[in-house]
Amino acid sequence: MPYIMRISSQKGGVGKTTVAVNLAVSLQRRGYRTLLIDADTANPSVGFHLGMTNVNVGFKNLVKKEAQLKDFISIHAPSGLHTICGTIDSKPFTISEENAKTIYSKIKNTNYAFVIVDTQPGFTTDYIAKVYDEAILITTPEDTAVASIIRLAHSFDKIHLKHHLVINKIGRHKYELHPKEIEEAYEGKAIGMLPEDEIVPMSIAEHIPAVMLSKRAKFSQATVALAETYSAMSEYTPDEGISKVSFWNRLWSLFKRR
C-alpha cells in the first residue's frame, strides 16, 4: 500500500503546491514510484509547476465509482512522476464522505511508494483527513501562518492523524520568527526548513520544478534533503529502473523544447 501524505495549511500562499511538486519530483527521481494528486479543486496549480496545463482531468473525475484511477494519470516526462492534475471550472466542489471513501480506496489500491496530495487552504473535515497516513503542515515564519498551523496541528491530533512541520520561505529577515520559536510553538522539530529562494518563482514561470531547474539552488538542496528523510523512513526500496527511464525522458524533453 502507498504511503499517502497530505500537504496542508490553513493559510493560503505559504508554499503547499511548491513543496508538493518538488518533494514528489525528488522522491520519484530517487527511484520511488510516486503519484502527485492536485486536490485543490478551487485553484489547481500543479499543472503550471510541471508544464502540464493542457491536462484537463483531475481529482473530481475520480468521484464516479466506475472511474479507474489509471485513466486519469498523466506522466511528467522529464521526471517520470505520475500525476493527476486538477480541472478548472466555475462550479464549487465539496467532497462528501462517500466520495472521499470512493476516491481514497482507489488510491490505496495502487503500488506507488508515495502518494502526495496537494490541497487547498483551510480547515479539513474529519472524514477527509482520516484517510491519510500523514499530513505535512506548511508554514512560513510569520505569526499569522504559524498561529493557523498550530490550530491545524491540534485538530489533526484530535483525529490521531500524524503530522510533520515544514517551514518554508525562511529568509532570515529581522522581522521573521526564528525557526526555534516556531518549533517551540509547534512543540516539535521541523522535518524540513526551506529557504526563501528566487529559484521558486523562476521555476514556476519556466514550468520546470525548482529541483530540476537548479540542483545547486538552496531551495532545491533543502527539498532533496527532505525527500531523503522520507526515503529513509520508507519501507520501500527504490527502483533503479525508474531513475534510468527518467534520465532518458528528461533528455528527450530537453531536445523537444529546443
Ligand X SMILES: Nc1ncnc2c1ncn2[C@@H]1O[C@H](COP(=O)(O)OP(=O)(O)OP(=O)(O)O)[C@@H](O)[C@H]1O
Q: Using the rule CB under 6 A, is 204 a contact of ligand X?
A: yes
| Cell numbers for 81 | 512522476
Q: Determine the Cα–Cα distance for residues 42 and 27; give it in Å rounded to an integer.
A: 26
Shortest Å distance, C-beta 164 to ligand X:
16
Kindly identify the residues of this chain, within the stretch 205-224, that bind ligand X according to CB under 6 A: 219
| Cell numbers for 159 | 483525529
Binding stretches for Mg ion (CB under 5 A):
16-17
Contact status, residue 212 vs residue 24, Cβ threshold 8 Å: no
Query: Nearer to ligand X by C-beta: 120 or 231?
Result: 120
Positive or negative, the Cα torsion across 165, 185, 139, 99?
positive
Shortest Å distance, C-beta 57 to ligand X:
20
Only one of the segments 8-16, 104-112, 158-166, 229-237 lies at the binding site for ligand X (rule: CB under 6 A); that segment is: 8-16
In the set 34, 139, 168, 220, which binds ligand X (CB under 6 A)? 168
Query: Nearer to Mg ion by C-beta: 16 or 60?
Result: 16
Shortest Å distance, C-beta 197 to ligand X:
5
Shortest Å distance, C-beta 38 to Mg ion:
8
When CB distances are held under 5 to 8 angstroms depending on the partner's kind, the choice from Mg ion, ligand X, none that residue 15 binds is ligand X
- Nearby residues of 60 by Cβ (< 8 Å), 6 or more positions away: 41, 86, 87, 93
Contact status, residue 220 vs residue 199, Cβ threshold 8 Å: yes
Write out the DSSP string of 138-165: EE-SSHHHHHHHHHHHHHHHHTT--EEE
Count Cα atoms within 13 angstroms, Cβ side, for 42.
6
When CB distances are held under 5 to 8 angstroms depending on the partner's kind, the choice from ligand X, Mg ion, none that residue 239 binds is none
DSSP 197: -
DSSP 48: H
The 179-198 contact track toward ligand X, x by CB under 6 A, reads ---------------x-xx-
When CB distances are held under 5 to 8 angstroms depending on the partner's kind, the choice from ligand X, Mg ion, none that residue 80 binds is none
Q: Using the rule CB under 6 A, is 134 a contact of ligand X?
A: no
When CB distances are held under 5 to 8 angstroms depending on the partner's kind, the choice from ligand X, Mg ion, none that residue 241 binds is none
Shortest Å distance, C-beta 87 to Mg ion:
15
In the set 10, 18, 26, 83, which binds ligand X (CB under 6 A)? 18
| Cell numbers for 127 | 472524514
Kindly identify the residues of this chain, within the stretch 73-132, that bind ligand X according to CB under 6 A: 120-121
Q: Which residue has the cell 521558486?
A: 200
Helices marked H in the chain = 16-29, 46-50, 97-108, 126-129, 143-158, 179-186, 199-206, 210-213, 218-233, 240-257
Only one of the segments 25-33, 40-48, 182-190, 232-240 lies at the binding site for ligand X (rule: CB under 6 A); that segment is: 40-48
Q: Give the residues lining the site for ligand X (CB under 6 A).
A: 9, 12-18, 40, 43, 45, 120-121, 168-169, 194, 196-197, 200-201, 204, 219
